[in-house]
Structure 1
Amino acid sequence: MTRKIYMLLLTMSLIVTYSCTETYLDTAPTDSISEVAAFSNPDNMELVINGLHRQMYASVLNGGGTPNGESYFMPALDFISGEVIHTGPGFNWMKGEARWLSHTNANSTVSFDFWYQRYHFIATTNALINNVASKDFTVTPQLNSILGQAHAYRAWSYWRLVTTFSKGYLIGNPSTDPGVPITNGLSLTEGAPRGTVEQVYNQIETDIDAAIGYLTNASAPPNKSYISLNAAYGIKARIALSKGDWAAAATNAALARNGFPLFNEAEWHAGFNSVDQSEVIWASRIIDTESNFFASYFYYISFMFNGGECRGNNKIINIELYNQIPATDHRNKAWLPMAPNTNSAAYNGQGGSYLTDPNYNDAASFNAAKAAIIAQYGATPAHNTHPYMNVKFKQSRPGTNNPDDVIYMRSSEMVLIEAEAKAMMNDISGAQDALDILGSSRDTAFDKTAFGTQQALMDQIKFQRRVELWGEGFGYHDKIRWDEGIDQTNSGASLVIYGDAFIQERPSVNDDWIFKIPQQEIDSNPLITEADQN
């Protein structure tokens, strides 16, 4: 990393924040925004934090041309892990990720953006934290909120980095495995070497504990874009789960979901498109004027978004997984196994008409089935349909390219973390009780006593995570934690399209799961060389 990149990113953060503030533009044009002004008082520092909230989902790292926020990375991680499956060409978005051609390439924009987006957050939060430490600000709830969020963002950023650019904590040797650079100073001019995985986790845990301490005495967050105390507990639960600190994972997951009741059936099927939904703990409210449109989350994952990628490439669930969903589980309505295959370019070779679709015997029923789906879900007549297509993610204004909110953390995830952690501690009754919170809310016939061993519990928890959190970006890290490979046989994926990614060995024996360090980092950081490449 270089000072030049840091200053560019910091300036962009400030421009994002201040460009909507007429008073500030009257006194400080965007080409002269300085660190001094940005960190001169808590009000300005809060604006810097607001810039980070915006960049959680925005597409600004490369001047707006390349997707690089969570809007992109959440679906990308599910494509890499094979949880979300492509069915047609569309505009070929995310094909490189699905075929394992992006994260395995040091020159790809995917690795570059993931690395520099996170180090942007780290550089900005370093500046905030170090600036407060060097000055004599009065301690107030506002200042605690700023510091709490800064430490939480830094913990989250390092965690996202070390769990993608390093070997998984549970499947490697954390004390010796190379992690990522730890850069806590204001200046990044000289770069930093790779710390070990253990050292990076130590920094992460120090930061998230500090965040919780500050947020305990902070002002109430005005909206869910802010990292609240609940969200900080949730981040800590994720960190603990990834390293096998089961007790901390269970405790913090329970704290995180407190006050955020699970969706009922109607809420679950409302579309996962609003921060106002009951179990949403952390999310970004997307304002129309700040949308990234064709780099938005729903462009990659929703059926009815009006873009070429959506119209020509329905995203489907793994067929074998779908067939495990009980008839009594209302989530089976989130995918349409009998949708007609209307895309003549469908990868399975069965698209275009009733003549090639084995589920239909005549044109009238084939066309009527598509028309019914279009009418029910509000897509356009140009949208294709496909068996097992997803309708989990619904636009609030379907058939448009208007923005919808992006959800980062739900209480359902926290319930599943608690259940997994207790199962791994062999607390059978505790894991059953936690699992029942979710299972009984989704499946009218759910019986927690059917899972009476650690193995049975873990099998059910894995199933629940794959169904409940489908498309929300958890597949990649789940497979690393569970040390599971990919086998798309009978999934509905096309071997011709997926190539080498169709079958991948488990992460413990396959280092291709680890993202390549961006070549730009190796070229610009004197403390990282080609020998450090994954």
Structure 2
Amino acid sequence: MKKFLYSSLVATMFLFSACEKEYLEVQPTDAVSSDAIFTTTANAWGAINGMHRSMYFQYSNQDQAGQGSVMINADMLGEDLVMTSQGNGWFNATYQWSMHRNVNAGSLYFIYRYYYKLIANANMIIENIDKAEGPEADKKIIKGQALAYRAWAHHQLVQLFAERYDLANLGKPGVVLMTKFTTVGQPRATIGEVYNQINKDVEDAIALLDGYNRGDALKKSHINLNVAKGLKARIALSMGDWANAAKYASEARQNLSLMSNAQYKEGFNSVTNPEWMWGSYQLDDQQTYFYSFFAYMSANFNSTNIRTNPKAINSKLYGLIPATDVRKQMWDPTGASIPVPPNGAKKPYANKKFLAKSSSLSVGDVPYMRVAEMYLIEAEAKARLGQADAADVLFTLAKNRDAAYVKSLKTGQELVEEILIQRRIELWGEGFRFFDLKRTNTALDRTGANHDPALTTTSALTKPADSKEWVFLIPQAEMNANKAMTQNEL
């Protein structure tokens, strides 16, 4: 009897070693009893650490390295990340808007599997942690992190595999909503039902994580109260729930600071940066070679992809950045100052925002949430509400990046547009652009910029906002195995 993709491939068990390299792997469902895993909170902490590790673990091909790879795919579907050549082929299909519409694409399968794997593991923790031996305080923190993971993973999935959140869409098919660990196939819940559960999970996580101190900066892979509130702010933003978006974004950044201009130029590769709220910390001996985020997005790692296809910024967007803004230095319109690896090509508008440890070491910490994003969410939400202090919130961030920035006098939609431009510049390469285009119902427009015509055919230059292509297709393997599943419009 066939098992279902989201369950059979993600029905994972937690395996640990005596050293500090806890990890989780896909195993048969009868490999080990979940009762044995959760006998103690110490083991349960190992399970949580395994989930953190899975955020940058290689799943199959080298373009399938957890969240970093999803971030690359999300920006490849936008207009601001530019492929400077066809390179050695990685992510080209995404850039051409064909991967997510090909039911047999390996990357499509990976994204679907990856998030349901996280959900399956979160469910095992949630269902078993209460009976583990150990401090109640630890149980609360462990469950809170698992609930936050479950909320976040479902939110990622519903944004990709369903239509955008809109009152007219709430009754339409969302994604399979998994709140119990099971290998029995399930039908898709509605978009409204998925968002209801996402909000419940993240609010429960916020309650449980209140008071949790995760310790030093190297533990930013753990989800604390600030991160959980940041996730709530993201969710509210995608729903157009401006009041909650502003509220939780403001609360999420409390007692946290923006980085200095000097730190902005250090390579976006370290969780010790004070602005980072959530990210994967990677040890040098956990080399990720050619599946690292930095093997594709850095300026300096000596991979074929970086040497031949350094990633660049949309030239039109670059032109909107003032010369006095530190972010202008993250790209070079001539390419001359880019610290390319040996024999690397120096391409116009190439980035030096992301730097690997060295040309021979692809190690680097991957950023998932920063304080700047919270300022941008709060400013956008307040601007959409017509609140007078929206420009003040934007000013704090923009003035930090550009000493010459003058507080905006714009209001209404004009201010919203200014904030969205700031968002595009600030979050470039960090996996937000596809989600932003989709949530704002904005068409894709790559025209008049430096996109490679060999890669951006006419069909990949523009996409109307109402195109069915904004919705990822369900992988064919899932369709074949799960008889309760329905496909998106082909």
User: Would the TM-score normalized by the shorter structure come out above 0.5?
Assistant: yes
**Matched-pair contact (CA < 8 Å) for 1:485–1:506:** yes
> How big is the shift at 1:37?
1.7
Report the equivalent of 2:227: 231
Distance 1:139 1:482, change over 3 A: same
Partner amino acid, structure 2, of 1:14: F
Which of the pair is proportionally richer in helix?
1
CA distance in 1, matches of 2:10, 2:79: 32
Report the equivalent of 1:458: 416
Total equivalences in the alignment:
482
1:505 to 457, 463, 468: 463
Report the equivalent of 1:14: 14
**Matched-pair contact (CA < 8 Å) for 2:300–2:306:** yes
CA offsets 1:442-466 (integer angstroms, 9 cap, x no match): 1222122332x11221111111011
> Secondary structure of the equivalent of 1:290?
coil
CA offsets 1:372-396 (integer angstroms, 9 cap, x no match): x36xx3x333011011111111223
Say which one has the larger Rg: 1
Report the equivalent of 2:58: 59
CA distance in 1, matches of 2:234, 2:21: 39
**Matched-pair contact (CA < 8 Å) for 1:144–1:219:** no
> Secondary structure of the equivalent of 1:494?
coil
Runs of 4+ in 1 over 4 A off after TM superposition: 19-24, 136-139
CA distance in 2, matches of 1:136, 1:380: 50
2:383 to 423, 440, 465: 423
- TM-score under structure 2 length normalisation: 0.93
Confirm whether residue 175 of structure 1 aligns to residue 160 of structure 2: no
Gaps of 5+ in 2: 24-28
Distance 1:68 1:515, change over 3 A: farther
CA distance in 2, matches of 1:165, 1:248: 24
1:88 to 85, 89, 105: 85
**Matched-pair contact (CA < 8 Å) for 2:56–2:280:** yes
Report the equivalent of 2:181: 186
> How big is the shift at 1:316?
1.0
Partner amino acid, structure 2, of 1:335: W
CA distance in 2, matches of 1:4, 1:98: 26
> Secondary structure of the equivalent of 2:451?
coil
Counterparts in 2 of 1:63-462, with a 5 A limit? 67-132=64-129, 135=131, 140-170=136-166, 173-188=168-183, 190-218=184-212, 220-221=214-215, 223-339=219-335, 370=336, 373=337, 377=339, 379-397=340-358, 399-427=359-387, 429-451=388-410, 453-462=411-420
> How big is the shift at 1:520?
1.1
Partner amino acid, structure 2, of 1:173: A
CA distance in 2, matches of 1:482, 1:107: 29
**Matched-pair contact (CA < 8 Å) for 1:169–1:242:** yes
> How big is the shift at 1:200?
0.1
> How big is the shift at 1:290?
2.3
Superposed CA RMSD in Å reads 2.3
> How big is the shift at 1:187?
1.6
Distance 1:19 1:480, change over 3 A: farther
CA distance in 2, matches of 1:196, 1:4: 20
- TM-score under structure 1 length normalisation: 0.85
Partner amino acid, structure 1, of 2:348: P
Gaps of 5+ in 1: 25-29, 340-369
**Matched-pair contact (CA < 8 Å) for 1:221–1:228:** no
> Secondary structure of the equivalent of 1:239?
helix
> How big is the shift at 1:2?
3.4
CA distance in 1, matches of 2:360, 2:141: 37
> How big is the shift at 1:402?
3.0
Range moving further from structure 2, 321-330 or 192-201: 321-330
> How big is the shift at 1:296?
0.7
Partner amino acid, structure 2, of 1:112: Y
**Matched-pair contact (CA < 8 Å) for 2:297–2:311:** yes
Percent sequence identity is 36
Report the equivalent of 2:26: none
Report the equivalent of 2:432: 474
Counterparts in 2 of 1:478-493, with a 5 A limit? 478-493=436-451
